[in-house]
Structure 1
Amino acid sequence: MSKFTDPAKELLDKVGGSENISVVTHCATRMRFVLNDPDKADVDAIDDMDIVKGTFTQAGQFQVIVGNEVASFYNEFTKIAGVGDTSKEDAKEAAKQNMNIVQRLVAHLADIFTPIIPALVVGGLILGFRNVIGEIDMVNNGTMTLAESSQFWQGLYDFLWLIAEAIFHFLPVAITWSISRKMGTTQVLGIILGITLVSPQLLNAYGVPGAEDIPVWDFGFAQIDMIGYQAQVIPAILAGFVLAYLEIWLRKVIPQVVSMIFVPFFALIPAVLVAHVVLGPIGWEIGSWISNVVYSGLTSAFGWLFAAVFGFAYAPLVITGLHHMTNAIDLQLMSEFDGTNLWPMIALSNIAQGSAVVAMIYLNRKDKKEQQVSVPAAISCYLGVTEPALFGINLRYLFPFIAGMTGSAIAAVVSVGSGVMANSIGVGGIPGILSIQVPHMLMFTIAMLIAIVVPFILTVILARTKMGKDAYDRLGKTRP
């Protein structure tokens, strides 16, 4: 008998039995359930189990934090429960039955950007390294950059742009591929569609605003502007879905014996044509409008208020999953303004929530079981991934969550008020400073110190108030 046999039986009983499990899978530290009736799960009893480090519900999934032994526990659980192995994609699809319309829309947006995020993070780090090499005067008594002082560093600076350009300028290729992958259509067609949006024969998107003579395809009766959509998000999303739905429809009406020939032909050509004639220009205008509204709001006389609200509300957005929408806005800001003033606030929010967890590590330093969750969660937060900290610690106690939100709001006001801009999306935590434009690094550092210090102090203070007492009483813990 495995050491996980009894805990697995206990968890199965407390989630409502096998008949209440629609789908179950696991990630690095958590069991992920899609339950037929979430109300049948005895959440309080599950939280009291020795093997359980915490629970939460997100995106239609009931998640149980087990820790690093989750894979072995999962194997024992599925054997006892009699439920089959299921992929994470299947779990996500099943979870959508528990979502409302808004949650489903956000889930679709998340499904598009999640596979691309590793590339975006790498691209942000590369631009950050280029920042250090080519923008900071750090040699020859602070009068020269590394790139100016050495041919090696100049060569490295130029070489790194090859990768950064591939990630950000050719982003539409990744987006249209990701949509075809999500929709279950032919992925290579999605890639080809994306390439047609950024082809070298088109006028580069960055050259369009000042261009006096835009090349055209001349069909005699009509002309189409040969404009590229480098780094454009919304045109790529619109075009990708048109291609996917067109292919899905054609599969239904074209006989299978000739589908390999005619489905790609009649899907790709109309999709490319519609993308350049209709969707591209419309998507460009929509993207420009969104980015202008956000940028104008953050740089206006009331920018501090916008920053305070966003800084305070970003962590709750993560809980709902709505934070995925900021990826598209950040990328649009980068294409319109050569940088983003939104992303620095996201990095600061992650740091603030991590600092609140550090305060809880200090307060509960004698609770060894909790530290199995809190220590990795704090590290994860400081590196840009907040979910373990939010659901494993901060939301359970609530007062550190509020402390983190407050510290984030103050840091966001400082960041926006001093005009901090990032070159790109990067690691959304302390290493994110590499993505900040060089003239703004000092002020971002000050904002980071606020995001570290304020939540820590505020968490310790709130722990000694009635809010803290109520939290510890609710969790059956002794307040330090």
Structure 2
Amino acid sequence: MSKFSNEAKELLEFIGGKENVAAVSHCVTRMRFVLNDDAKADVDKIKNIKSVKGTFTQAGQFQVIIGNEVSTFYNEFVKISGVDGVSKDEAKKSARQNMSLLQRMISHLGEIFAPLIPAIVVGGLILGFRNVIGDIKLLQDGTKALTEVSQFWAGVHHFLWLIGEAIFFFLPVGITWSISKKMGTTQILGIVLGLTLVSPQLLNAYAVAGGAEAPVWDFGFTQIKMIGYQAQVIPAILAGFTLANLEIRLKKIVPGYISMILVPFLSLVPTVLLAHTVLGPIGWKIGSVISSVVYAGLTSAFGWLFAAVFGFGYAPLVITGLHHMTTAIDLQLISEIGGTNLWPMIALSNIAQGSAVWAMVYLNKNDEEEKQVSIPAAISCYLGVTEPAMFGINLKYVYPFLAAMIGSAIAGVISVGGGVLANSVGVGGIPGILSIQPQHMFTFFLAMVAAVGIPFGLTVFFNKKNITFTKK
């Protein structure tokens, strides 16, 4: 008998039995259920199972947090229940039957960027390191950067741009590939499409916006401007979905014996043409409007209010999955204005959630079992991963979650009020300071102090005053 046998039986019972499970899969730390009737799941009893760290519903899936041994627990659950496990992709497809149109759109957006996150994080770290050695005047009484006094570090600074440029400048290639992968279409066509958006022969759209005259493809009866969409998100998304949907439809009507020849040709060529005549210009305009609105809101006289609302509400956005939208907005802001004032607030929210957990560690310092969950969760928060802390600790007790939201809001106001901009999206939490533009690092540090101190202090205060925000 497995050590999880009894707990797996309990979970099956409390989830509503085998007949209530439409699909089940698992990821790194969670069991993911698509239930026929969510109301049949007894959440309180499930949370009382010893191995369960917490539960939540997101993207049409009822998710049960198990931790690092989730694969062992999952195997035992499948064995006991007789429910056939499915892949995460199949579970997501099944889950969409329970989603609204907006939820499905957010789910798609999240699935596009999820495979790109490792590269974006690496790119953020690299640009952050280049910040430190190339832009901060640390030497000779604060007059010179490391690259100005050392040829070695100057060479490192120059070399690292090769990777940073590949990740961010050529981001459309990753986006169109990710869409083709997600949609189950030909991935190499997605890559080729992305390359046609960033080809060196194309004039950068930013140069065109600055007044440069773009060369043209001259067809005699008409001309098409040779404009590239380097670092652009929305043109790549529009083009990627157009290619994938066109390929899917063509496969249904083109006879199999000529499909290998006609489908790639009739999918790719029209999509590239549309990308450079319709989708690219429209996507560029949409992206410019979105970034302008967000930037104007954060730099206006009411920017502090926008910052407070975003800082307070970002953690709940993570629960709903809506936070996936912020990656696209961040990248658009970086490409449009050379930095993002949104990303620093996300990093501060990570820190705030972790600080609330540290307060719970302090309050439960004699509870060894609680500390085994809380300490790793707090550390992961400070490194930008908030899920274990939010679902395993803060939401469980409620008042630490609220304390973290308040701290995040105040830290966000400090950040936006000080005009803090990040050069890139990178690792969240404390390492996020590496992504901050050098002239704003001190202000961001002050915001970090607020994100640490306020949630910690409020969590302890709420506990001591028995203010738990839960029904007695």
TM over 0.5: yes
1:54–1:64 contact (8 Å) kept in structure 2: yes
CA displacement, residues 279-299 of structure 1 (integer Å, 9 cap, x when unaligned)? 111111110011011111111
Q: Determine if contact 2:116/2:174 at 8 Å carries over to the other structure.
A: yes
8 A Cα contact 1:78 1:85, kept in partner: yes
Looking at structure 1, the residues matched to 29 and 376 of structure 2 have their Cα atoms a distance apart, in angstroms, of 10
Q: How many residues align?
A: 472
Separation in 1, partners of 2:102, 2:212? 42
1:110 corresponds to: 110
Structure 2 letter corresponding to 1:296: A
Greater mean alpha carbon deviation, residues 65-74 or residues 346-355? 65-74
AA at the equivalent of 1:333: L
In structure 2, the CA distance between the partners of 1:174 and 1:204, relative to structure 1 (3 Å rule), is: same
| Alpha-carbon distance, 1:8 to partner | 1.4
Per the alignment, residue 250 of structure 1 pairs with 250
2:398 aligned with 1:373: no
Counterparts of 1:58-69 in structure 2 under 5 Å?
Answer: 58-69=58-69
User: Displacement of 1:148 after TM fit?
Assistant: 1.1
In 2, the alpha carbon distance for the partners of 1:31 and 1:363 equals 30
2:313 matched residue in structure 1: 313
Instruction: Report if aligned partners of 2:350, 2:429 keep a CA contact under 8 Å in 1.
Output: yes
* Amino acid corresponding to residue 276 of structure 1 in structure 2: H
Q: Deviations over 1:88-133 (max 9, x none)?
A: 1112222222222211111011011111111111100000000011
CA shift digits 1:296-325 (9 cap, x unpaired): 111111111111111111111111110100
For residue 102 of structure 2, give the secondary structure of its aligned residue in structure 1: helix
**Residue identity matched to 1:266:** L
Q: Quote the offset at 1:350 in angstroms.
A: 1.0
Counterpart of 2:325 in structure 1 is 325
User: What is the CA–CA distance in structure 2 between the aligned matches of 1:343 and 1:329, rounded to whole Å?
Assistant: 9
Residue 458 of structure 1 corresponds to which residue in structure 2?
458
SS at match of 1:62: strand
Q: Secondary structure at the match of 2:400?
A: helix
Deviates more, 1:139-148 or 1:267-276: 139-148
Per-residue CA deviation, residues 337-365 of structure 1 (Å, 9 max, x unaligned), is: 11111110111111111111111111122
**Partners of 2:319 and 2:39 in 1: CA distance:** 19
Moved more, 65-74 or 339-348: 65-74
Q: Are positions 1:216 and 2:216 aligned together?
A: yes
SS in 1 for 2:136: coil
Q: Return the letter of the residue paired with 2:177.
A: W
The one-letter code of the counterpart of 2:104 is R
Shift of 1:466: 4.5
Find the counterpart in structure 2 of residue 272 from structure 1.
272
1:392 aligns with 2:405: no
Distance (Å, rounded) in 2 between the aligned partners of 1:282 and 1:30: 39
Q: Does 1:128 align with 2:94?
A: no
CA 1:257/1:367 → structure 2, altered by over 3 Å: closer, same or farther?
Answer: same
Pairwise CA RMSD of aligned residues? Answer: 1.3
Q: What amino acid is aligned across from residue 9 of structure 1 in structure 2?
A: K
Rounded to whole Å, the distance in 1 between the matches of 2:3 and 2:252 is 51
| TM-fit CA distance, 1:460 | 0.8
SS of structure 2 residue aligned to 1:369: helix
Partner SS for 2:115: coil
Shift of 1:143: 2.2
Distance of 2:107 and 2:140 partners within structure 1: 51
Gaps of 5+ in 2: none
Structure 2 residue 194 is matched with structure 1 residue 194: yes
State the secondary structure of the residue aligned to 1:116: helix
Once the 2 structures are TM-superposed, how far is the Cα of residue 395 of structure 1 from its aligned partner? 1.3
**Stretch moving more, 317-326 or 73-82:** 73-82
2:358 equivalent to 1:362 = no
* Separation of aligned partners in 2, 1:213 and 1:300: 33
Give the deviation of 1:423 after TM superposition.
Answer: 0.1
> Aligned equivalents of 2:10 and 2:210: distance in 1?
67
Aligned to 1:10: 10
1:67–1:373: 8 Å Cα contact kept in structure 2? no
Please give the per-residue CA displacement for 1:18-63, whole angstroms capped at 9, x wherever unaligned: 2211222222222222112111111111111222222222222222
Q: CA separation in 2, counterparts of 1:366 and 1:49?
A: 22
Equivalent residues in 2 for 1:47-196, closer than 5 Å: 47-196=47-196
Please identify, of 370-379 and 289-298, the stretch whose mean Cα deviation from structure 2 is larger. 370-379
Checking the alignment, whether the CA contact within 8 Å between 1:53 and 1:370 is kept in structure 2 is no
Separation in structure 2 between the aligned mates of residue 54 and residue 217 of structure 1, nearest angstrom: 58
- Give me the whole-angstrom Cα distance separating, in 1, the residues matched to 2:210 and 2:101: 41
Q: Aligned partners of 2:213, 2:2: CA distance in 1, in Å?
A: 73
CA contact (8 A) 2:53 2:391 kept: no
What does the per-residue CA deviation read over 1:364-419, in whole Å, with 9 as the maximum and x for residues that have no partner?
22333333322221111111111221111111211111111110110111100110
Identical aligned residues as a percent? 70
- 2:176–2:239 contact (8 Å) kept in structure 1: yes
User: 1:230-245 counterparts in 2 under 5 A?
Assistant: 230-245=230-245
Aligned to 1:430: 430
Deviation (angstroms), 1:197: 0.3
Distance (Å, rounded) in 2 between the aligned partners of 1:50 and 1:280: 53
Equivalent residue, structure 1, for 2:287: 287
CA contact (8 A) 2:247 2:267 kept: yes
Matches for 1:392-431 after TM superposition, within 5 Å:
392-431=392-431
How far has the Cα of 1:150 moved from its partner?
A: 1.2
SS at match of 2:31: strand
The question of whether the paired residues in 2 share the 8 Å contact of 1:116 and 1:174 is answered with yes
Q: Which residue of 1 aligns with 2:347?
A: 347
Does the 8 Å contact 1:67/1:372 carry over to 2? no
Counterpart-to-counterpart distance in 2, 1:53 and 1:240: 38
> Quick check: 1:350–1:382 contact (8 Å CA) kept in 2?
yes
Bigger shift: residues 455-464 or 429-438: 455-464
Q: CA deviation at 1:448?
A: 0.4
TM-score, structure 1 normalization: 0.96
Q: Distance in 2 between matches of 1:370 and 1:84?
A: 34
Q: How many Å separate the matches in 2 of 1:92 and 1:388?
A: 21
CA contact (8 A) 1:399 1:459 kept: yes
Q: Give 1:212 shift.
A: 3.5
Mapped to 2, the partners of 1:212 and 1:102 lie a distance apart of 39
Q: Distance in 2 between matches of 1:440 and 1:164?
A: 21
Distance 1:78 1:52 in 2: 17
Query: What residue is the counterpart of 1:37 in the other structure?
Result: 37
Match of 2:209, SS state, is: coil
Q: 2 CA distance for matches of 1:51 and 1:342?
A: 36
3-state SS, counterpart of residue 278 of structure 1 = helix
Deviates more, 1:321-330 or 1:44-53: 44-53
Task: Give ranges in structure 1 of 5+ residues lacking alignment.
Answer: 475-480
Q: 1:218, 1:23 → 2: CA distance?
A: 54
